[in-house]
Amino acid sequence: MFKSIITLSAIFIACASFADIRFKNIYQNNMVLQAGEENAIAGKTNPEEAVELSVSAKLKDGKTIQKTLKTKSDKQGKWLVKIPPFPKRTNLEFEAKNASGESAKISNVITGELWLGSGQSNMEWHFGNNTVEKEFLEKYQKDADATNGDVRIFTANRFVLPEAVDEVCGDWRIIDGKNLRHGISQICYIVASQLSKALDTPVGFINSSWGGSRIEPWISKEAFKSSGVSFNSSNNTEFKNWQEYEEFTSNYAKLREEYIKNFPKWIEQNPTGHLQNQNRASRPKMPIDVLANDHNPTNKYNSMICGIAPLSPKGVLWYQGESNAGQPYFYGDLLKLMVNSWRKHFKRDFHFYYVDLAAINDYQNQPVHYGSWGGIRETMAEVLALPKTGVATSIDSGGSKMQGLGDIHPPHKELVSTRITNMALADVYKKGNPKAARSPRYAGEFKVEGNKLIVKIANAEGLRKMQGKEKLTGFAIRGENPRDWKWADAEIKGDTIILSSPEVPEPKAARYAWANRPLLSVESKHGLPMLSFSTDNGAYVDWGRQKK
């Protein structure tokens, strides 16, 4: 990781031309701009220099429009011009000139719909991965050839930086059957293709993802500073706020010296795993070198998100959380912080859709699996309190032939991609039924009547037992003891689920699908699985935390 950082300045230079005027790297041949609205075109030249942008627009009907727009660069040499709205399928060419006579050009730019995808490996997951079946790849190679240039994807290069920069490295590609398997995100491509067909428009995706990444690196320093939220860092240390983190990292040299001196002594005093766990509070904290680890807060935002602006996505797809599953009690606040800060950065109240985590490991064999992915799935859903958000569940997306049912990377992303597309069509483009695009989920309300606990379900249209299931399974119920869960009998009644157990005469709480690979049994009439839930804030209770 350190090697990639120390060579980063050279790489960013390679992202740009060496002329005295240029476009920002993300403005390239073959890119997609938003149709029907103003677009900001940005670049760099000499400080405080006049810039002239020539725009040649060829409309779908063959008519050509020429425009010349003028501006002046700022003291850092940055320039920005806003071009007027053009309808979809307008082909654009740009030439930027400065007062010194230098020029830069980009061409084959098209107007359509622009989206952003981000997250970790399941968002990166491409058609060339070794668990992807040949038939699936060939199906989408044919699909890509049939798009006729309407799907275009920018894949961001993976780098980290301790401070934000105004560039993102990567390349735009027009996707066809030949280049589909070469690092192209399945989710980005499939959603783009489906949207393109449904809307009869070009669709561009910016894919800025990093396998194994936590959520903290994708959030800006400004957001952390202003929020005061708690988070985790690369050395597994918890910080109450950004100020505490900055104080810790600023003393790296001193802390490194103390760690080298004191950690061997602590190991000698706590040689067994039991003692190390028992006395973990006294364990010396490993120092954090902000330049040496890609899990550090803000460092992916700095190099892979910040510089996308002033491009502004119509919507954002997020598939991440596996790397934060060990501290789910942080995740809800962090995800809301990220969404709000990105909306502010991109100056757009965009729609945000996330994918919850796929099932892994063995099937659920106890009413509740403590410390399982039930917790991270629950806290991910806290972002749904924000407007214009939605979740596409992947909990039933299945494993792979090579890795088995418990594969952490479902090899084929068609199922979740279609769920995302359906939400986007209904919400953003007003095509389709929003209720039909959303999974049933706990509505946040329950009541107790005698020995029965009655749970209210949202998005409950046609709530039913899953096709092929003999009975409702996966439900747990308990009394006062938060560690004494029993399997629950369940009955669906309208938009409620009635739970009971002869072993729990006075129920206090319930859960559903609380396991890494849970038992699922409930869906809407549209075939969408009900999301896992707890009525007792299980993501916090299981880890001995208090929900804020």
* pLDDT tens-digit map of 75-95: 999 999 999 999 999 999 999
The predicted structure's pLDDT at residue 1: 40
Beta-bridge mates of residue 44: 22, 78
> What separation, in Å, do the N-terminal and C-terminal C-alpha atoms of the chain show?
35
Q: Tell me: pLDDT of 391 over 80.
A: yes
- Cα(277)–Cα(271) distance, integer angstroms: 11
Q: Amino acid identity of 202? A: P
Which 3-state string (H, E, C) describes 415-473? HHHHHHHHHHHHHCCCCCCHHHHCCCEEEEEEEEECCEEEEEEECCCCCEECCCCCCCC
Contact 40, 69 (CB under 8 A): no
Quickly list DSSP for 342-379.
HHHHHTS--EEEEE-PPP-SSBP-SS--TTSTHHHHHH
Cis previous bond, 387, omega within 30: no
Backbone φ and ψ for 378, nearest 5 degrees, come out as: -65, -45
Q: Is the pLDDT of residue 10 over 70?
A: no
Is the pLDDT at 405 greater than 70? The verdict is no
- Report whether pLDDT(60) > 80: yes
* Residue bearing tokens 């709530």: 463
Please report which confidence band the pLDDT of residue 404 belongs to, taking 50, 70 and 90 as the band edges. Answer: low
Taking 60 as the threshold, does the pLDDT of residue 6 lie above it?
Answer: no
| 210, 304 Cβ separation under 8 angstroms | yes
Q: What is the rounded distance in angstroms from the CA atom of residue 22 to the CA atom of residue 170?
A: 16
Q: What is the pLDDT of residues 233-289, one digit of tens each?
A: 876 789 999 999 998 888 888 888 989 999 999 999 999 988 988 898 898 888 888
What percent of the chain clears pLDDT 70, i.e. is strictly above it?
Answer: 95
pLDDT of residue 401: 67
Q: Angle 475-385-315 (CA atoms, 0-180°, nearest 5)? A: 110
pLDDT, position 5: 46
Share of the chain above pLDDT 90, in %: 82
pTM of the model: 0.93
Kindly state the average pLDDT of the residues 306-328.
Answer: 97
Q: Categorize the per-residue pLDDT at 398 as very low, low, confident or very high, splitting at 50, 70 and 90.
A: confident
Q: Cα dihedral sign for 278, 216, 399, 180? A: negative
Is the pLDDT at 7 greater than 90? The verdict is: no
Enter the tokens of residue 167.
């560039």
